[in-house]
Structure 1
């Protein structure tokens, strides 16, 4: 079968299309004939080689989520999965015509949700949902989404709006993106530095930070008293080593900073929320924003667009 492998970590040219063996399901696994593959920020971080401690080596097939039809299951897996349309979190191995997944990381899809929409929404919306919960967001609080043009950011904007936020600020790179985010519920559009809208609140109760990097400290300063900043991504790299000084220097503001990973959510809770979000998307209450649909062989082009910062929503690969 055809798959995209990382032959050299770094820029997107290190990804190549190659023939690899069809996977065989082991205990607790199933094989999915892919109809759509989500291209996410974590894929780009892995491809750049900037993430350590996970044992990634050349020859790796990237791709953390797919949707398609189950074609085979492990001996200990319920055979009723065979032939069902599913969304699956694969961790790696998703950029392929067939992908392996653990049965606990698979959710059945209804006919009302396309495979393309499923991989646009399946990981990002639960991250946004649980990140807001991790921040203890409540109705009538103000929310700022830093780096709102990606699929996690868009979901956070819609979910904060749906949850009764008093204001939903976003940071993004252009007026055009800001207009699209307003259509999705944003009330204030800021530039990447957090300025540019004189009517925006001076501080926010909750900040969902998908960017990270050296400017993280500047956004700690935008927290209201008792404000909570939750880092869910680091596409701009690690925060400065001394970012904690910003918290201590504003000690009397009782601000806090946390990280969040979906890995910490028990599988039953994660799957239940994902099913609810899929249902809401099927009803048109939430939106899976697709930037582009590209063939599997253009995975490198998808990553070039992500590196250039031109993607609004998510790029989806199809076999």
Structure 2
């Protein structure tokens, strides 16, 4: 089968499309024909080598999120899964390919009428946004700032938080700001945090990370909570804790969140709800572009350049 592998960590030129052996499902796993694979921020983090390359050796097939049709099952998996259309988490590797495998616990059946492209645009982003907000106890009426709102997680966070109160966003252009307003944003700030908007917020959802993370601590209201759900710009500065303690009397807090800590039944249940909501038109899967596998390096380059609004999807 054809697959996109990491031949060299760093910039997107290290990605190569090559012929690799098709994976076979082991016990508790299923194989699927991939019809769409989402290009996610975590894929870029892995490709750059930000996460230890020892976990992802050269030659790893990139991609964590695929949608397609189940073609085979391993031991312990009911045979009636064959032929079903599913969304799948492939374990931080294996999705940028013509075929992939996933554990049964990491599959969600697609509702009627939902395309595989839309499925991989919202399938992981929606639950990360949902449970990230829950992790910091976001409540009705509280204000939220979404830092890095133009990606798929940020867009989902905007739509979900807007149901409960005021939402501000940071983004790179006025045009993107207007698109985010149509999705529920009340205020738009530039990437530095400047703009005609409230000074402080009850909750900050940060997908960006990087060296300027600590600057946003001052945007937290008393008892405000920041949750880091990504680090597409790299790790936060080493003095983040010291900066937090400087405002000790404000009782601010910072948390990290990974979907891995959510029980399987809970995350799959929310994902199923979100997929159904997109099929109904109640949530939006914002697709920036759909590209063939052999343009995976281009997809990553465009993501690195900050031009993507929503998600790029690869199709075999």
* TM-score greater than 0.5 by the shorter chain: yes
What is the alpha-carbon distance in structure 2 between the residues aligned to residue 145 and residue 120 of structure 1? 18
1:82 maps to 82
**CA deviation after TM superposition for structure 1 residue 243, in Å:** 1.1
Whether the 8 Å CA contact 1:208–1:231 is kept in 2: the answer is yes
What is the alpha-carbon distance in structure 2 between the residues aligned to residue 217 and residue 148 of structure 1? 18
Correspondence for 2:231 among 210, 230, 234: 234
Correspondence for 2:255 among 253, 258, 268: 258
Aligned counterparts, 1:170-209, within 5 A: 170-197=169-196, 200-209=197-206
Deviations 1:145-202 (A, max 9, x none): 000000000000000012x21x1000000111101000100010001111122xx111
Residue range with higher mean Cα deviation, 277-286 or 124-133? 277-286
- Alignment partner of 2:167: what SS? strand
Q: Unaligned regions of 5+ residues in structure 2, if any?
A: none
**CA deviation after TM superposition for structure 1 residue 76, in Å:** 1.7
Pair 1:109 & 2:106 matched: no
**CA deviation after TM superposition for structure 1 residue 54, in Å:** 5.6
- Alignment partner of 2:121: what SS? helix
What is the alpha-carbon distance in structure 1 between the residues aligned to residue 86 and residue 277 of structure 2? 17
What is the alpha-carbon distance in structure 1 between the residues aligned to residue 152 and residue 162 of structure 2? 16
**CA deviation after TM superposition for structure 1 residue 110, in Å:** 1.3
1:11 maps to 11
What is the alpha-carbon distance in structure 2 between the residues aligned to residue 151 and residue 258 of structure 1? 21
What is the alpha-carbon distance in structure 2 between the residues aligned to residue 43 and residue 36 of structure 1? 15
2:285 maps to 288
What is the alpha-carbon distance in structure 2 between the residues aligned to residue 241 and residue 14 of structure 1? 29
TM-score, normalised by the number of residues in structure 2: 0.98
What is the alpha-carbon distance in structure 2 between the residues aligned to residue 5 and residue 53 of structure 1? 13
Deviations 1:16-50 (A, max 9, x none): 11011111111111101011000000001111111
Pair 1:267 & 2:268 matched: no
**CA deviation after TM superposition for structure 1 residue 138, in Å:** 0.5
2:151 maps to 150
What is the alpha-carbon distance in structure 2 between the residues aligned to residue 46 and residue 268 of structure 1? 27
1:66 maps to 66
Correspondence for 1:212 among 197, 201, 209: 209
2:141 maps to 140
1:310 maps to 307
Q: Unaligned regions of 5+ residues in structure 1, if any?
A: none
What is the alpha-carbon distance in structure 2 between the residues aligned to residue 75 and residue 207 of structure 1? 44
Deviations 1:227-281 (A, max 9, x none): 0000001111111111112221111111000000000001001001111111111
- Alignment partner of 1:17: what SS? strand
Number of equivalences: 315
1:127 maps to 128
CA RMSD of superposed structures (Å):
0.9
Whether the 8 Å CA contact 1:221–1:246 is kept in 2: the answer is no
What is the alpha-carbon distance in structure 1 between the residues aligned to residue 158 and residue 14 of structure 2? 34
1:245 maps to 242
